[in-house]
C-alpha cells in the first residue's frame, strides 16, 4: 500500500455517498425507456438493490427517496426494512414537476391556491422525514418560462421566497432544506433557480438550516464547477452534492465517466475547503442507468468517487503551497497532475481486503448471483421508473 498513508485510509474509511432510489428504476430519454429484467417494482425492492451496493463497497450507507415516486403507507416500516439491510433512509426529494397544476409554476405560481398546494406537498415531505429519520429535504424546481415577457421574473423571486419561508418554518431539530439549481430545462428562456448565486440568495434569506445543493450536471458547458464548490464552502452554504457526469446537458451519466479530471478537481476543492467527511456536506449520486445494468452502474459510480477522492487526498499540499507562493506555475500544476495520474486502484483493492470487503466490488457483485436472482424473481407487477 505504498501510495496511501494510514491518514489517507482513515479519511477514506469515513466516506459516505448516498444513492438515489430512482437510479434503480427504469428511465430514459423522451424517445424510449428501455426496461431491464429484474428492475424493482416498489420502494422496498429499490432499497434491497441499493443495499447490495453498500454490501460490496461499504461506501453507500443511505438511500434517498423521491416523493411521490417512493410513496408507501408505512414509512417507519420502510425505514426498519432498510435498517435490516444495513442502510438508512436519506434525503427526501420533493416533486413539483409532474402535475398539470404546475404548468406555469409551483412555489412561484401567480395563483395562491396553486402555491399553497405546492407548499403543502413540501410539508408532507417533512412529515415523511419525521417518520424516516431523514435530515434533508431537497428541492429542485422545474419552474421558469419559455418566452421573453411570458413571466414576471422579479415577482416570481419574491413569491419563491415567501413559499420557501413557509416550508422552512416547518423544519424541526436537525432537519435542513437544500435548494438545487439548474441553468435550464424544462424551461428554456428563464429558470427561477438557475445558478448557485440565486440558490445562495434564497437560502441565505431563510437561515442556517437552508443550504445550496450543487448538481454537477446542472451547469453550462465549460463552467468551472470547482470554483463554485470553493466559494460555497467558503460561505458555509454547500449543503449537498448531486454527482453525475455529462457530455452535453443534464445527462445523468455515471459520475467520473465523462470527465474524471473534473471530478478530481472538485474533490480537491472539497478537501481544501474542509468539506470531506463534514456532516454539513452531503454527497449523493443523481443518476439514471438507461442502457447499463443499474446495480453495477451504482457500484462503478461510488468507486469512481472513492478513487478520485484518494487521488485528491495524496496531493502534496506543502509542495503545492510552496510552488504557489513562489509563483512557480509549472511546478504547482505538476504537483496536482502527479496526484491525478497516480493509479491508486491496486492500493484501494488491497485496503478493501484488509477491511473484509471484496478487492474488486464489481466482480464480487457479478459473482454473487443477486442479479440472476432478481431477474428470475421479479416477474409480474409494474417495474418502477423515473416518474412512476
Ligand atoms: C432534474 C433532476 C434534478 C433532481 C432529480 C430528481 O434535473 O435530475 O437534478 O435532483 O431530477
Ligand atoms: Mn439533481
Ligand atoms: Mn438533473
The yes-or-no verdict on residue 202 having pLDDT over 70 is: yes
- Residue 313 CA, chain-centre distance (Å), reads 21
Residue 191: the pLDDT is 98
Cα angle 237, 300, 388 (rounded to 5 degrees) comes to: 75
Q: What is the pLDDT of residues 332-351, one digit of tens each?
A: 999 999 999 999 999 999 99
46-56 burial: b if 16+ Cβ within 10 Å, else e: bbbbbbbbbbb
Distance in angstroms (rounded) separating the CA atoms of residues 281 and 270: 9
Q: How far is the CA of 191 from the centre of ligand 3 (A)?
A: 13
Q: How far is the CA of 242 from the centre of ligand 3 (A)?
A: 8
Model confidence at 245, in pLDDT bands (50, 70, 90)? Answer: very high
Q: What percentage of the chain's residues is helix, strand, coil (to nearest 5)?
A: 45, 15, 40
Q: How far is the CA of 96 from the centre of ligand 2 (A)?
A: 14
Q: Within 10 Å of residue 35's Cβ, how many Cβ atoms?
A: 10
Model confidence at 1, in pLDDT bands (50, 70, 90)? Answer: very low
Model confidence at 28, in pLDDT bands (50, 70, 90)? Answer: confident
* Residue-level length of the chain: 388
For ligand 1, whether the C-beta of 307 sits within 6 Å is no
Q: How far is the CA of 24 from the centre of ligand 2 (A)?
A: 15
More confident call, 381 vs 327: 327
The yes-or-no verdict on residue 328 having pLDDT over 90 is: yes
CA atoms within 13 A on the CB side of 101: 15
- Picking from 363, 319, 380, the residue whose alpha carbon sits closest to that of residue 56 is 363
For ligand 1, whether the C-beta of 219 sits within 6 Å is no
The yes-or-no verdict on residue 25 having pLDDT over 80 is: yes
- DSSP secondary structure string for all residues of 181-216: --SSSS-SSEESS-SHHHHHHHHHTT-TTEEEEEET
Range 119-134 average pLDDT: 98
The answer to whether the complex's ipTM is over 0.95 is: yes
Q: What stretches of 85-213 show up as alpha helix (H) in DSSP?
A: 112-132, 153-168, 196-204
Nearest CA to ligand 1 atom 4: 140
Cα–Cα distance list, 128 to 86, 131, 133, 171, 273 (Å):
20, 5, 8, 12, 32
Residue 3: the pLDDT is 80
Distance in angstroms (rounded) separating the CA atoms of residues 347 and 4: 7
Distance in angstroms (rounded) separating the CA atoms of residues 269 and 235: 14
Q: What is the pLDDT of residues 140-199, one digit of tens each?
A: 999 999 999 999 999 999 999 999 999 999 999 999 999 999 999 999 999 999 999 999
Distance in angstroms (rounded) separating the CA atoms of residues 327 and 323: 6
Q: What is the pLDDT of residues 294-310, one digit of tens each?
A: 999 999 999 999 999 99
Model confidence at 388, in pLDDT bands (50, 70, 90)? Answer: low
The yes-or-no verdict on residue 381 having pLDDT over 80 is: no
Amino acid at each position: 500500500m505504498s501510495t496511501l498513508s494510514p491518514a489517507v485510509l482513515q479519511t477514506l474509511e469515513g466516506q459516505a455517498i448516498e444513492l438515489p432510489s430512482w437510479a434503480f428504476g427504469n428511465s430514459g430519454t423522451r424517445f424510449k425507456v428501455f426496461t431491464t429484467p429484474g428492475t424493482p417494482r416498489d420502494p422496498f425492492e429499490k432499497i434491497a438493490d441499493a443495499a447490495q451496493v453498500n454490501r460490496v463497497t461499504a461506501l453507500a450507507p443511505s438511500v434517498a427517496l423521491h416523493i411521490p415516486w417512493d410513496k408507501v403507507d408505512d414509512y417507519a416500516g420502510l425505514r426498519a426494512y432498510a435498517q435490516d439491510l444495513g442502510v438508512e433512509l436519506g434525503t427526501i426529494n420533493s416533486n413539483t414537476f409532474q402535475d398539470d397544476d404546475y404548468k406555469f409554476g409551483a412555489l412561484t405560481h401567480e395563483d395562491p391556491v396553486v402555491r399553497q398546494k405546492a407548499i403543502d406537498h413540501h410539508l408532507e415531505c417533512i412529515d415523511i422525514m419525521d417518520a424516516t429519520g431523514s435530515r434533508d429535504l431537497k428541492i429542485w424546481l422545474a419552474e421558469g418560462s419559455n418566452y421573453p415577457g411570458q413571466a414576471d421574473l422579479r415577482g416570481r423571486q419574491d413569491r419563491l421566497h415567501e413559499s420557501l419561508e413557509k416550508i422552512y418554518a416547518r423544519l424541526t431539530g436537525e432537519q435542513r432544506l437544500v435548494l438545487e439549481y439548474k441553468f435550464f430545462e424544462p424551461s428554456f428562456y428563464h429558470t427561477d433557480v438557475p445558478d448557485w448565486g440565486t440558490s445562495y440568495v434564497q437560502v441565505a434569506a431563510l437561515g442556517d438550516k437552508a443550504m445550496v445543493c450543487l448538481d454537477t450536471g446542472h451547469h453550462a458547458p465549460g463552467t468551472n464547477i470547482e470554483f463554485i464548490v470553493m466559494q460555497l464552502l467558503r460561505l458555509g452554504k454547500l449543503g449537498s452534492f448531486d454527482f453525475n457526469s455529462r457530455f452535453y446537458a443534464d445527462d445523468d451519466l455515471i459520475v467520473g465517466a465523462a470527465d474524471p479530471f473534473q471530478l478530481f478537481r472538485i474533490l480537491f476543492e472539497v478537501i481544501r475547503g474542509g468539506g470531506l467527511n463534514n456532516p454539513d456536506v452531503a454527497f449523493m449520486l443523481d443518476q439514471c442507468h438507461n442502457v447499463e445494468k443499474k446495480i453495477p452502474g451504482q457500484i462503478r459510480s461510488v468507486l469512481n468517487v472513492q478513487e478520485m477522492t484518494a487521488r485528491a487526498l495524496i496531493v502534496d499540499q506543502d509542495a503545492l503551497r510552496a510552488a504557489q507562493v513562489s509563483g512557480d506555475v509549472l511546478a504547482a500544476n505538476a504537483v496536482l497532475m502527479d496526484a491525478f495520474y497516480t493509479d491508486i486502484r491496486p492500493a484501494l483493492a488491497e485496503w478493501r481486503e484488509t477491511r473484509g470487503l471484496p478487492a474488486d466490488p464489481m466482480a464480487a457483485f457479478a459473482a454473487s448471483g443477486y442479479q440472476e436472482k432478481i431477474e428470475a424473481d421479479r416477474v409480474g407487477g409494474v417495474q418502477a421508473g423515473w416518474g412512476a
